[in-house]
Amino acid sequence: MLNIPNELQKYVVLTDNGDQVDRFKCPVPGCDYVTRLGPGALKMHMILRADPKVPTRYDQGHEEYLKNNMVLDQEQIKMLSDYPRKELGT
C-alpha cells in the first residue's frame, strides 16, 4: 500500500491492490475528470476550468475550489510523480 500524505489523497485513485497510482482525479465536487498523464496535467485541468475568460470551458465549481484551496504546488507535483503509477496504455 502506498503511503500518500492525507492532503494529496484526494488527487489520486489507487489500483485495486493499492500498490500504484491508477489515475489522478479532480477533487472538485461533480467533476469526473481523471487522467494518467500525471499530476501536472491534473493541475492544468483545474486551472483551465477555473478561467472565466473562456466561457466554453469555464466551471464555477473549479474557480471556487481554486480560490478556497491550495492546488498542487511544484513540490507536491514532484512528490505525486515519484509514486509508482500505471502508465498510458496499461
Identify the pLDDT of residue 45.
Answer: 97
Give me the mean pLDDT over the 21-47 stretch.
Answer: 97
pTM of this prediction exceeds 0.85: yes
Q: How confident is the model at residue 90 (pLDDT cuts 50, 70, 90)?
A: low
Gap between the Cα atoms of 75 and 68, Å rounded: 19
Mean pLDDT of the chain: 94
| Annotated domain spans of the chain | 6-82
Going by C-alpha positions, the residue among 22, 34, 41, 44 that lies closest to residue 4 is: 22
